Structure 1
Amino acid sequence: MLLHLLKIELKKMTNYRTFWVVGGLYFLTLGVGAASGMEFLKLLARTIEGFGQEININRIPLYHFPDVWLNLIWVGGFLKIVLAIMIVISVTNEFTYRTARQNIIDGLSRQQFLVTKILANVMYSAISVVMLFVIGLITGLIYSPVVSLELIVTDLEFFFAYFLEVFFFLSYALMLGILVQRSGLTIILVLLTQTIELIITENLRDHVPDWLITIFPMKSIWYLIDIPFPRYAFMEIRDYLTFTTIAIVLVWTFLFNYFAYLKLKRSDI
């Protein structure tokens, strides 16, 4: 049944030209952006006087196992917004062109209609994980001075965090698309969400406990994975996942999808 619902969604998505353009842009950007870090360092060495002499870029373990996993996952997290825009366009088109109404007339329940969207989000999140893993594996094998199974499997648990981060954000985009039902406005809201939340939390910081700031939705995914690069300046980072941060992200993800369901249940499609 779930596979059937996913096929329905994929059939609709593949008929959208925007799906191919935005989807291709996302995966191309993800691949090029994740794999070009060393080339960027080489460019700095060529263009900035003294950079190559002061810092031996070949000694920076940017793509060495196991550092490569956390580095790529953290950078890849920024690109999820491109995928979220594709989800927004897909969802809002359902209401613009009345395909959501037609699906329900043809026999889908409102719950099943939402499940098709959630399954698509799961699929896109999983594909992002697989693609980033392949890029990391290839670059790690190329640049790592020492390759062993122990080093390769170290820190792989962060791919679970990456999956959660992408699925969380796509669920948020899905909820906004169903609530607003206008692609332009929804995309603006998706793009401005983190800025709006940052303004709110900074104004609240002196008036509420610190733990309350950490449970804001966009803050919660930032706390999933620490910025990895300070470790190259001999600074400590948290290189493990915590149950609390995972639980907060899971709760918000559930709420996003639940609010989307409530809107579908009560609205006149």
Structure 2
Amino acid sequence: MLRLLNIEIHKLKHNRASKVLIIIYFALLTSIALIAAIKFDIGPIQFHLAEQGIFNFPYIWHFNTFMAAIFKFFLLLVIVSMMANEYSNKTLKQNLIDGLSKKEFILSKFYTVILLALISTIFVFIVSIILGYSYSDFNEFSIVTTDLEYLLAFFVKLVGFFSFGLFMGILVKRSAFAVGGIVIWFFGESIFKGYLFWQFKDAENTTEKVNAILQFLPLESMSNLIKEPFTRLSAVKTVAKQVGEDLSKDFSVQPLDILIVLFWTSIFIYFSYKLLKKRDL
């Protein structure tokens, strides 16, 4: 495992575009801290975002993992360009000539996916701890360690998404087309979602029925891992109640969603290997 990882790390270190994208990604993760500086002073009205409880434990685990997941696209570019470079620079063929099996090649990429996801998760954990202890009203250990499952969900989400990118990178061999393929898949799921809502428009509990089907789709299942955190804020709930809206829902990480994403991850890696195995390089 370490030998395969060292090969990939060596390639990343000598790829300028990948290094720039990785630096931008972690800089954006750090920029979550800048939210604490957002203040609005409109006459007598003073609004400080950090004082609204977004950095309170344990809510911060939910908020920060959701926000950090938005930036995963930058690491996706690293993954797909990593595969595109293997074909354009002929390093894939050279690796196989040097004795690396196709199975080991796929494993080296998958280990890199896991490493990038793990480093991202640890980074978000550190940023959240610093922000939480700086701004949270609740610092008891039992409260701080509540909802840590959002970090697990974040890790699983990144591994699944990057594995999808790896599969698309092997399938189409070009980074731009691979990213385009993922975008097309996203629109495909969105169109299918619209079709289901139209199909069940006259049925009872339409949303529940549609979501019960959509939860098994790859991108939708990844999205379900960490639900939007904004309607969980007490200030938002108070405003909603005043206008007669009920925003109560289950924000927790569901084991079924984790299992579905892990299933799709295994599918993407398996078919990545099958594609590579069938191709004459």
CA contact (8 A) 1:226 1:239 kept: yes
CA contact (8 A) 1:230 1:237 kept: no
CA drift at 1:113: 0.3
CA drift at 1:191: 4.0
CA contact (8 A) 2:186 2:219 kept: yes
CA drift at 1:186: 1.4
Letter of the aligned partner of 2:253 in structure 1?
L
CA drift at 1:251: 0.7
Change (3 A) 1:79 1:214: same
CA drift at 1:200: 2.7
* Number of equivalences: 261
* Within-5 A mapping of 1:212-251: 212-232=213-233, 233-234=236-237, 235-251=247-263
Tell me the residue number matched to 2:64: 72
Tell me the residue number matched to 1:52: 45
Partner-residue secondary structure (3-state), 2:225: coil
CA drift at 1:50: 6.1
Partner-residue secondary structure (3-state), 2:198: coil
TM-score scaled by length of structure 1: 0.91
For the pair 1:175 / 2:187, whether they are aligned, the reply is no
Segments of structure 2 that go 5 or more residues without pairing to the other structure are: 201-208, 238-246
Tell me the residue number matched to 2:204: none
Tell me the residue number matched to 2:7: 8
Q: Give % identity.
A: 30
- Aligned to 1:187, which of 168, 179, 187? 179
For the pair 1:131 / 2:120, whether they are aligned, the reply is no
Letter of the aligned partner of 1:100 in structure 2?
L
- Residues of 2 paired with 1:51 and 1:23: CA distance? 42
- Residues of 2 paired with 1:220 and 1:23: CA distance? 25
Change (3 A) 1:31 1:201: same
Letter of the aligned partner of 1:245 in structure 2?
D
CA drift at 1:5: 0.8
Letter of the aligned partner of 1:112 in structure 2?
E
CA drift at 1:237: 3.6
CA offsets 1:85-142 (integer angstroms, 9 cap, x no match): 1111111100111100000000000000000000000000000000000000000011
Letter of the aligned partner of 2:24 in structure 1?
L
CA contact (8 A) 1:65 1:151 kept: yes
CA contact (8 A) 1:175 1:257 kept: yes
CA drift at 1:256: 0.7
Partner-residue secondary structure (3-state), 1:223: helix
Tell me the residue number matched to 1:200: 192
TM-score scaled by length of structure 2: 0.88
Tell me the residue number matched to 1:151: 143
- Residues of 2 paired with 1:184 and 1:132: CA distance? 28
CA drift at 1:171: 0.2
Tell me the residue number matched to 1:37: 35
- Residues of 2 paired with 1:104 and 1:10: CA distance? 18
- Residues of 2 paired with 1:113 and 1:121: CA distance? 13
CA drift at 1:222: 1.4
CA contact (8 A) 2:35 2:50 kept: no
Change (3 A) 1:175 1:57: closer
For the pair 1:268 / 2:280, whether they are aligned, the reply is yes
Change (3 A) 1:183 1:57: closer
Segments of structure 1 that go 5 or more residues without pairing to the other structure are: none
- Residues of 2 paired with 1:147 and 1:141: CA distance? 7
